[in-house]
Amino acid sequence: MQAIAGRGDDGRAEPMSFDGKRVIFGGFNPFTWRRSDMANKHGDWIWYELMTTDADAATAFYQAILPWKIGNPGQDGFDYRVIAATEGAVGGMLALTPEMMAGGARPVWVGYIKVDDVDKAVTSVEHGGGSVYMPARDMPGIGRFAMVADPQGAAFYVMKPTPPADNPQATCNAFAAERPMDGHCAWNELRTADDAGALHFYGTHFGWVKDGEMDMGPIGTYHFIRHGAMIGGIMPSMPQVPVSAWNFYFRVPDIDAAAAAVTANGGQVLHGPIEVPGGDFSMNGMDPQGAMFAVVGKRKG
């Protein structure tokens, strides 16, 4: 199996080797399902995962910034902690093992996209110029998943989760598609070396459509993306960070309190808070272990 490691000379993520013992979710089902008349559809974001070198420190950091309750380590010798927000679980935290770090693994957030058929999705991604970092595998009671990357090297998982037997239409609400929910993901943003190519890639494989744009001056164009609801945006990579990667914005109740908590707990504010369309304010940062993250919320002051 493989996962993301460092970046090559061309800026693309490079796969790293696992020791074959990785157990996603620590051997238990982390999803918080809710009853619904419509299940998550192909192309929906359903889960977010932080890979980190210090799970205890990362737990303290993110709980100080977001309305999260992060669980205890999982079983079977793997430290995997479920992240619960105000209305259900939104993701997990994986402690990188020495073997993973020796293979080049680094702290990073990675998202999961729901697909109807994982194997077909993996083949389609490869045919579309993407890469496979971890081949498809099953986790009993949880689902089938694989880690892949788009042609520019931005990594993500594809997954077909297993819902409860008595509620096959159950949905995951890690991404707050219907309404704002504190602690849940509010926006999925891709910064890419080829925004036109990314629009084509994700539209072809996941059914996403462009729904508006915003002129960002010398940087280029910000493309708004819809998949039923508005789910995020695609923009050119910043000149000072010429790599392609996904960034996930989690909602906080108070953006200024969150910014203060970042610096008070050893993180860095890299950009913002700035006002964004709709009246919210967003902020990009780096946690103490080096993972990039983002938050969005109202300004109360």
Average pLDDT over residues 26-46: 62
CA distance 85 to 68: 5
Residue 190 β-bridge partners: 234, 246
How confident is residue 75, by pLDDT bands cut at 50, 70 and 90? Answer: low
pLDDT band at 76 (very low <50, low <70, confident <90, very high): low
Pick 10 or 198 by higher pLDDT.
Answer: 198
Query: Whole-number mean pLDDT of the chain?
Result: 86
pLDDT exceeds cutoff 80 at 12: no
Q: How many CB atoms lie within 10 A of CB 173?
A: 23
- Write the CB contacts of 41 (distance below 8 Å, at least 6 apart in sequence): 114, 227, 228
Q: Per-residue pLDDT tens for 230-250?
A: 999 999 998 777 789 999 999
Rg (CA), the chain: 18
> How many degrees, rounded to 5, is the angle at CA 48 between CA 29 and CA 256?
130
For 50-59, how does the pLDDT look when each residue is reduced to its tens digit (9 = 90+)? 999 999 999 9
What's the rounded mean pLDDT across residues 23-47?
A: 60
pLDDT above 60 (res 209):
yes
Domains and CATH numbers, the chain: 2-172 (3.10.180.10), 185-297 (3.10.180.10)
Specify the higher pLDDT residue, 277 or 193.
Answer: 193
Give the E-state strand segments of 184-278 in sequence order.
Answer: 185-192, 209-215, 221-227, 229-236, 245-252, 268-275
Query: What pTM did the predictor assign?
Result: 0.88
